[in-house]
């Protein structure tokens, strides 16, 4: 199913950055450093952004990153849960 895109990828990345900043304020994530928010992939109805933490990866978190999907039609976000230490996706 192909959806009409009304949100640009640039606007979606800004939305993803805001969501990542909000999530990084959660106490269990606040102590980690994260890299930039980058586009990882694209689906018919969303863009998927990722913000990785080498610290989390070094501590055994898999994947050690925050993922945000931004809807192409209206810009709402859907979070993907962080995996626990040693847990595979």
Q: φ and ψ at 17, to 5 degrees?
A: -60, -40
Largest CA distance in the chain: 41
Instruction: Give me the pLDDT at residue 78, please.
Output: 83
Position of tokens 């859907």? Answer: 78
Task: Share the mean pLDDT of the chain.
Answer: 87
pTM: 0.83
Cβ atoms of 30 and 45 within 8 Å: the answer is no
Cβ neighbours for 59, distance < 8 A, ≥ 6 positions apart: 85
Domain residue spans in the chain? 9-80
For residue 4, pLDDT over 80 is answered with no
Instruction: Give me the pLDDT at residue 79, please.
Output: 65
DSSP string, 56-79: HHHTTBSS-EEEEEEETTT--EEE
């Amino acid at each position: 199913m192909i959806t009409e895109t009304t949100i640009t990828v640039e606007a979606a990345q800004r939305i993803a950055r805001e969501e990542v900043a909000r999530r990084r304020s959660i106490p269990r994530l606040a102590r980690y450093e994260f890299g930039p928010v980058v586009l990882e992939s694209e689906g018919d109805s969303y863009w998927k952004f990722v913000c990785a933490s080498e610290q989390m990866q070094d501590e055994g978190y898999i994947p050690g990153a925050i993922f945000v999907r931004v809807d192409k039609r209206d810009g709402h976000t859907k979070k993907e849960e962080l995996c626990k230490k040693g847990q595979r996706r």
